[in-house]
Chain A
Amino acid sequence: MSISRALLRHKALLAASSVVLAMTACVGGDEAKTDDTQAVITDTSGDTQDSQPVDTDPADTNVTDTSVADTSAQGDCNSVPSEEVTECCDALRAACEAEHGAGTDAANECIFGEDFSGSTGCIPWGPPVPPKARRAFV
């Protein structure tokens, strides 16, 4: 499936923002609204196959939806990569694979750095144990 990074980001943030609504309904004090399990699910991104929970009225969210904004000017790996960054990464991969062989551990270390775990770049899904408070409190 070919799908742009901007659209992926849009879908992801829309799904995440939908879960925050559970708090909004609750704080509103209207018991009938606290049950969001009946929420109509509609994706505004244009993918009609989408069945993920997304609020039908983005205006109700407290989230600034900047998800389709062009962030390419940021130019670092903490944002959606720009074309230049992507090209750079592709070039890096090509060079590393040419030197070490595609898919080898050495190539992966060359591409990802020495901390490369052999896995992925995938965020683990299950929540970790919450941290204890480390700093002095008022």
Chain B
Amino acid sequence: MTFCTEDATPETPAPILLDLRREAQAQQPDLSALPPLSEPERQMAIRTWRGRMVNEHISAQVWAGLVHSLMRAGAPPAALAELPKAIADELRHAEQCAGVVLALGGVPVAPLPALEPVPLHEEVAPIEGAVRNVISVGCMSETIAVSIIRAEHAELDDGPLATLLGEILADEVSHARFGWRSLGLLMPRLDAAARARTSRYLVDAFAHQVQHEVPRLPRGGVIRPELGQAGVCDGGFARSLFVDTIQTVIVPGLTQAGLDAQAAWDEAKAETAAVFNR
């Protein structure tokens, strides 16, 4: 990775660019067997994989933030030791996605979005704050990722992209399991009041998932199967899977953990109805 900045006026600071051209060279899959794509389709595939490249890269700092959150909550070394692997996984995924961008004829360079720190939730005890972060990252985001990537993987013919997606999926399964396992360890240490507050936090966490994911999922779009083989997915189906995964997997899981997840999801859905209707 090289560190680059774009030209900027003195008033506007130059954005930092994520430049994975060098890493992509070593990760480039052979996509010669892909079905032919029109030029706009190829560009769409490049944008998709470039977006994944950026998202995977910056998610490494989310896992890094969990180190602090979980350490101050007294998490055992065995749990903390899983976090560096997750960080490395996300950075490697970014490089793999960059390789696909390059293989598709794109340039794996993109502006780096603003990075927000992982909240410590200092208004509550460290364990309760850690539970919030574990739920958001592992039990929600990563569990949804498992579902979505599993579906994408199942749709691909055998080939380099299927292999790549299979590797990424295995890592995401590991990350999601870390979240649920950590929740199982931490929940017994919360008293009734903390559990009630955590149930209320679920409304924010669910709403955040909707606001983060659903606007990226256009309704009613249908993509050609050939484009699907390049790793581009159908937004309408992904949206349905997003909702189904929350309703049939995450809500029951959180309920089993002792949280009032169904009420929280219902409230979050009502709060974000405008996002769904866009």
* Per-residue A-contact encoding for B158-190, CB less than 8 Å = 1, 0 else: 000000001011101101111111011101100
Measured in the bound complex, the distance between the Cα atoms of B259 and A23 in whole Å is 13
Q: Which of A27, A36, A93: most chain B CB closer than 10 A? A: A27
> Is chain B's binding surface mostly helix, strand, loop or mixed?
helix
**Which residue of the partner chain B has the closest CB to A49?**
B158
Expressed in whole angstroms, the minimum distance between the Cβ of B19 and any Cβ of chain A is: 18
From A3, A16, A24, B245 is in contact (CB under 8 Å) with A16
Q: How far, in Å, is B79 (CB) from chain A's closest CB?
A: 11
Question: Inside 8 A of B242's CB, which chain A residues have their CB?
Answer: 123
Q: Given A20-B253, A133-B204, does the pair A121, B234 have CB atoms closer than 8 Å?
A: yes
Main secondary structure of the interface of A (DSSP, over half): loop
**Chain A 36-61, CB within 8 Å of chain B: the 1/0 string?**
10000000000100111100000000
Q: A128-B62, A128-B208, A137-B200 are in contact. Are A18 and B173 (CB under 8 A)?
A: yes
| Partner-contacting stretch, out of B7-15, B22-30, B51-59 | B51-59
Is B33's CB within 8 Å of the partner chain A? no
| 8 Å CB interface, A91-121 against B | 92-93, 102-105, 108, 111-113, 115-121
Chain B interface size band reads 35 or more
> Are B200 and A130 touching (Cβ within 8 A)?
no
Q: Which residues of B contact A125 (CB under 8 A)?
A: 52, 55-56, 59, 93, 145, 148-149, 168, 172
- Bound state CA distance, A88 and B222, in angstroms? 10
A62-B251 Cα distance, complex, nearest whole Å: 10
Minimum CB–CB distance from A32 to chain B (whole Å) comes to 14
A45 CB → nearest B CB, Å: 9
A38 to B143, CA, bound (A): 19
Q: Which of A26, A125, A131, A133 has the most CB of B within 10 A?
A: A125
Residues of chain B touching chain A, judged by Cβ–Cβ distance below 8 Å, are 38-41, 43-44, 47-48, 51-52, 55-60, 62-63, 65, 90, 93, 116-119, 121, 123-124, 132-133, 135-139, 141-157, 166, 168-170, 172-173, 175-181, 183-185, 187-188, 193, 196-197, 200-201, 203-205, 207-208, 212-213, 215-223, 231-245, 248-250, 252-253, 255-257, 276, 278
What are 29 A-B pairs at a CB distance below 8 A? A8-B154, A13-B245, A15-B147, A19-B146, A22-B178, A26-B185, A52-B166, A63-B252, A77-B239, A79-B243, A89-B222, A92-B220, A105-B40, A112-B219, A112-B221, A112-B235, A115-B215, A120-B235, A122-B48, A124-B213, A126-B58, A127-B137, A128-B62, A128-B208, A130-B118, A130-B135, A130-B136, A130-B137, A138-B200
Residues of A within 8 A of B (CB): 1, 3, 5, 7-9, 11-13, 15-27, 34, 36, 47, 50-53, 62-67, 71, 77-81, 85-86, 88-90, 92-93, 102-105, 108, 111-113, 115-135, 137-138
Which 8 pairs across A and B sit closest by C-beta, in order of nearness? A121-B235, A126-B59, A103-B40, A26-B184, A130-B136, A127-B141, A112-B218, A77-B219
